[in-house]
Structure 1
Amino acid sequence: MYDDEDLAEIRESREEWESETLDPALERHGERQERFATVSNQAVERLYTPEDVADLDYDEDLGFPGEEPYTRGVYPTMHRGRTWTMRQFAGFGTAEETNERFHYLVEEGQTGLSTAFDMPSLMGIDSDDPMALGEVGKEGVAVDTLADVEVLFDGIDLDEVSTSFTINPSAPVVYAMYIALADQQGVPREELRGTLQNDMLKEFIAQKEWVVPPEPSLKLVTDVVEFCAEETPRIHPISISGYHIREAGSTAAQELAFTLADGFAYVEDAVDRGLDVDEFAPQLSFFFNSHNSFFEEVAKFRAARRIYARVMDDWYGAEADASKKLKFHTQTAGQSLTAQQPLNNVVRTTVQAMAAVLGGTQSLHTNSYDEALALPSEQAVRVALRTQQILAEESGIADIVDPMGGSFAVESLTDEVEETVMNYLETIREKGDGSMRDGVLRGIEEGYFQREIQESAYEYQRRVDDGEETVVGVNQYDIGEDTSPDLLHVDEERAREVQLARLERVKEERDDKAVAAALDALRDAAEADENTMPTVVDAVKAYATMGEIMAVYESVYGSYQESITVA
């Protein structure tokens, strides 16, 4: 964007500034620290100038919003047209309690529902399983059968809400339950809106929730992608998630690289299934973390769009614009929340939310200030939602499309993130002999991703322990007082009693022969390597339980135990 003569003049002016203005100031006052770096330990320069973006080609690297390479946004008007979807995570105790929270959030102005599940549901076991003892309704809502989902969405019209489901191994079952409920309500399947996380590759890399091994897990994800394209075109079948990769301790570039690698692996698997990339790719969505290093996060989101557009075009031959637009949900960084002085988390969350908005997110969850201590209280959830509303309605940051575009610092950081991410992607692709799908599976088997994340997590914690990284209220500015707020109390015993009573009632009242037939049909479909989703929908309509359905998958595909050693 600058010619050689301009750059030479800027270089000369900078040298003059350094000698006449900067050096005397450094001699008198110095700087706060010897080295400045992001949370990811990426060095940050003192000053950025046009020299740092000398190779930037505006048309090729930036363009305009709504046009390739989408660096400046996937829509021409971005948040001037409509603000991002404000989606607060909810789910605890019984379906009745979570339904009450859903209604509260809608009344407070929330524009999308986001469902958290308890650990037994996440792992595909029923509430009456001995392994579920002590976990029912503890960190999310318990869902065993369609009857629970009927209560969960009681009084909520499915054609008027967008619903997100944060669930992975048992995502096909929850998806089937939502479809079955829509059929009950008479809502056409094509009108359903929402997102399934359904990102199993991420589970093996970071979050560690699985039932069957990686390869059949990938097969089940593609079953959902194929069924979704045919039956529920407004539901995103996968939320390809970097959030948990970042929470496990990765850097920003690792989060983006490993997430995109997973996404491209899903694309390859679907194409191998015989699906046209332009039929399913527009439904894919992504889920990123927004951490404390403001400019690094903005750069990460902008680089994500540019990389995705180019790779979908160059590697996978996508032709439709919608197939090359990376759309994403963002959640503020849970890992950054502190139990000490928890009200400080309101500020952290605000900074992270601003980075997400300025980075061009499509939807946003802001963490509640008390989440380092317990499930969020009603007051804390309200503050988290109001944070988004103030940003949208009062701050003005949603009024300009890509206001960070053209910043020497942000554009330079965007290029740095892109270069690092592309190096990771090529490494993973080489592991698969040119296949990203096989490279990701091999990387999981070898422990490649786990080691990379572990090393980054260790390095960050070392910097915190040594005081190189400041965490306000923890290793700096500690006041030594108990600052815990009033916390949400979930009556775990009551939740378990309610859940077990409903599950027992369903089992007594259902047609056992119909359940057995539906489960047999599911087993036949799995063994024949067919798409299992139609039979899962039939099974949940017969009130087969989550555990019964997942047990069929496990009987066909086997179980999985991680065997790699992470050094």
Structure 2
Amino acid sequence: MSEEKKVQTDSGIEIDRLYTVDSPHNSPPADQPGEYPFTRGVQPDMYRGKLWTMRQYAGFSTAEESNKRYHYLLSQGVMGLSVAFDLPTQIGYDSDHALSEGEVGKVGVAIDSIEDMATLFKGIRLEDVSTSMTINATGYILLSLYVALAKQQGADLKKISGTIQNDILKEYAARGTYIYPPKPSMRIITDIFEWCASDLPKWNTISISGYHIREAGSTAVQEIAFTLSNGKAYVQAAQEKGLDINVFGKRLSFFFNAHNNLFEEVAKFRAARRMWAKMMKSLGATDPKAMMLRFHTQTGGSTLTAQQPMNNISRVTIQSLAAVLGGTQSLHTNGYDEALSLPTEEAARIALRTQQIVAFESGAPDTVDPLAGSYFIESMTNEVEEAAWKLIEKIDAMGGSVSAIEQGFIQDEIARSAYEYQRQIESNEKIIVGVNKFQVKEDGSIPIFKIDDSIRTLQSEKLAQLRANRDNAKVDQCLQLLNDHVVSGQNIMPAVIEAVENKCTLGEIADTLREVYGEYR
């Protein structure tokens, strides 16, 4: 008999020819769904009681254009909105700033003031919709704008639900849209935790993100190890501020990627839930709800190909199934054209329909933890967990995530994995259909969604009008109050909310903190 080919996942976990009851890593979880450590799901009945929230990540151009897309998506059956912001908004520059040139409205919507926020959600009652906002360094400003708008609408803040990403550690490690150094950034995050616990109790104060770690080239094992380590750092920072883990722990959420290896991805989600529960218990949580890992999933942007883009519909379908079989609480499916441009309306609709077909036609939601008991899945779950704990132990030995990032450890690990993945594609060890095998001559007939550069002029005109019509003495007073809060160590959220209500711009507020904290280089 010829020697068997060695098969392994991208995380380096070797896959056996056959899994049986006697396989070395096969041990089914003892816990029931909805019970610690939540391997099998955070709710006893999972999707039999309520489907995951179907979101579509959208935002481009001006608030007016994005508002039209939100109304379209809501009419097509999305259950929650997910807002993408442009780069200037993400890094704290108004649209008329010199550094904003060429980027306004390109990868998301431009939001400069309370007026843009009101336009973005025109005709949408914030009390009736759950909104997720992918925003980090300026998360405190966007949350304040959202709260100010809710107050304008007469909403009960106790009923407002949604999530801000607010995960700055992964920005230093994998994505790059940071402003301030790590320690003051952690202070802003714990201010948000503290303020929301009393004033916005249904809001998820952070979405600890493995998504961008994976997009930067990490493996599945690294994705959960680095993400949970970051989560641990946030929890410890909140505890140092005197916050109760059983209170703020219930408002922590996670954001993971779904890639093409269906079984490793399902195992990753199950292992992550179990690991977080154990981690939170070790940090002092006693309320089971504070130990639950609740997560949003987005299908893998970096897995989509510009070659034969319609093949991406199949990839997104596999990834959606992985998220659902792994027990996600909410899901965004990517458009097939996203390797080429922002998604067209048609691509966004097909992506949403993919979720709806999984929900209503596949049978996947009919039972809790459908792959439980599979010798392969249980073995893979245990092996993913074991490998991830080894990485977390290394990070802990360095003093935790912040130290590991400052030493470049996490960045180097991700870079190594990204290099190895690309090397395997170029050597044909890994087949990407349509890229290094099964190529065809393309005719370029896929429609491309383009954003006009004139958006910056429009936003700049709106800003000039805002500055001319507001009470600028009151603006100066608000910015001085914010500066005082920052310097004295008081919670900044009330001062930021007052500033946006008085028409201070995003750039002005970000600059007030820049003057005190400086910028991270």
| TM-score where L is the length of structure 2 | 0.98
Q: Given the alignment of the two structures, is residue 559 of structure 1 paired with residue 519 of structure 2, yes or no? A: yes
Give the CA deviation at 1:41.
Answer: 3.9
- Secondary structure of the corresponding residue to residue 66 of structure 2: helix
SS at match of 1:285: strand
Name the CA distance, whole Å, in 2 between partners of 1:510 and 1:443: 45
Of 372-381 and 217-226, deviating more is 217-226
CA distance in 2, matches of 1:490, 1:429: 44
Quote the Cα distance in structure 2 between the aligned partners of 1:342 and 1:250.
23
Report the CA distance between 1:460 and its aligned residue: 0.5
1:269 and 1:235 map into 2 onto residues whose CA distance is: 19
Displacement of 1:310 in angstroms is: 1.1
What pairs with 1:377-456 in structure 2 (closer than 5 Å)? 377-432=344-399, 439-456=400-417
The alignment status of 1:366 with 2:333, answered yes or no, reads: yes
Offset of residue 55 of structure 1: 6.7
Specify which of 4, 21, 45 is matched with residue 50 of structure 1.
21
Alignment pair present for 1:375 and 2:342: yes
Match of 1:295 in 2: 263
The answer to whether structure 1 residue 199 and structure 2 residue 162 are counterparts is: no
Hey, what's the Cα distance between the residues in 1 that align with 2:408 and 2:202? 35
Q: Name the counterpart of 1:530.
A: 490
Show CA shifts across 1:200-246 (max 9, x none). 01101110111110111111111111111111111101000000000
Q: In 2, Cα distance between the equivalents of 1:90 and 1:534? A: 29
- Contact preservation (8 Å) 2:229, 2:401: yes
**Of 172, 177, 180, which aligns to 2:140?**
172
Secondary structure of the structure 1 residue equivalent to 2:373? coil
Q: Alpha-carbon deviations, 1:302-347, whole Å to 9, x = none? A: 001111111111x211011100110000000000000000000000
Q: Is the 8 A contact 1:39 1:292 kept in 2?
A: no
Contact 1:288–1:330 (8 Å) recurs in 2: yes
Secondary structure in structure 2 of the residue aligned to 1:428: helix
State how far apart, in whole Å, the 2-side matches of 1:235 and 1:503 are: 30
How far is 1:490 from its partner? 2.1
Q: Distance in 2 between matches of 1:329 and 1:389?
A: 16
- Equivalent residue for 1:272? 240
The structure-2 alpha-carbon separation of the partners of 1:287 and 1:165, relative to structure 1 and needing over 3 Å to count, comes to same
Match of 2:193 among 217, 225, 228: 225
In 1, the alpha carbon distance for the partners of 2:91 and 2:344 equals 25
After superposition, the C-alpha distances for 1:357-385 in whole angstroms (9 at most, x for unaligned) are 00000000000000000000000000000
Secondary structure class of the residue paired with 1:492:
coil
**Matched residue type, 2:415:** Q
CA contact (8 A) 1:309 1:324 kept: yes
Q: Secondary structure at the match of 2:127?
A: coil
In 2: Cα distance, 1:74 partner to 1:288 partner? 16
Which residue in 1 is equivalent to 2:89? 121
Counterpart in the other structure of 1:502:
462
From 276, 287, 291, the counterpart of 1:320:
287
How many Å separate the matches in 2 of 1:54 and 1:269? 35
Give the equivalent residue in structure 2 for 1:471.
432
**Is the 1:164–1:194 contact (alpha carbons within 8 Å) kept by the matching residues of 2?**
yes
**Deviation for aligned residue 1:53:** 5.3
Number of the residue aligned with 1:487: 448
Aligned runs of 1:141-156 on 2, under 5 Å? 141-156=109-124
* Inter-partner Cα distance in structure 2 for 1:266 and 1:249: 23
Tell me the equivalent position of 1:40.
11
Identity %: 51
Amino acid at match of 1:178: Y
| Structure possessing the higher relative contact order (Cα contacts under 8 Å, 6 or more residues apart) | 2
CA-CA distance at 1:52 after TM superposition? 1.9
Query: Could you say which structure has the larger radius of gyration?
Result: 1
Alignment of 1:97-116 (within 5 A): 97-116=65-84
The residue type equivalent to 1:452 in the other structure is E
3-state SS of paired residue (1:138): coil
Kindly indicate whether residue 169 of structure 2 is the aligned counterpart of residue 208 of structure 1: no
TM-score, length-scaled by structure 1: 0.90
Deviation at 1:54, TM superposition (A): 6.5
Instruction: Give the partner amino acid of 2:253.
Output: S
Residues 512-527 of structure 1 correspond to what in structure 2 (within 5 A)?
512-527=472-487
Does residue 243 (structure 1) correspond to residue 211 (structure 2)? The answer is yes
**Which residue is 2:298 aligned to?**
331
Alpha-carbon distance, 1:91 to partner: 0.3
1:256 corresponds to 2:217 = no
Question: Quick one: distance in 1 between partners of 2:335 and 2:25?
Answer: 42
Q: Aligned letter for 1:265? A: A
**Distance (Å, rounded) in 2 between the aligned partners of 1:376 and 1:482:** 19
Task: Tell me how far apart the structure 2 counterparts of residues 181 and 431 of structure 1 sit (CA, whole Å).
Answer: 43
Which 10-residue stretch deviates more, 483-492 or 537-546?
Answer: 483-492
**Using the alignment, how far apart are the partners of 2:290 and 2:199 within structure 1?**
19
| Structure 1 residues 482-530: Cα deviation after superposition (integer angstroms, max 9, x where no partner) | 344112222231x222211211111111110111111101110110111
Secondary structure of the residue aligned to 2:126 is: coil
Aligned residue in 1 for 2:500: 540
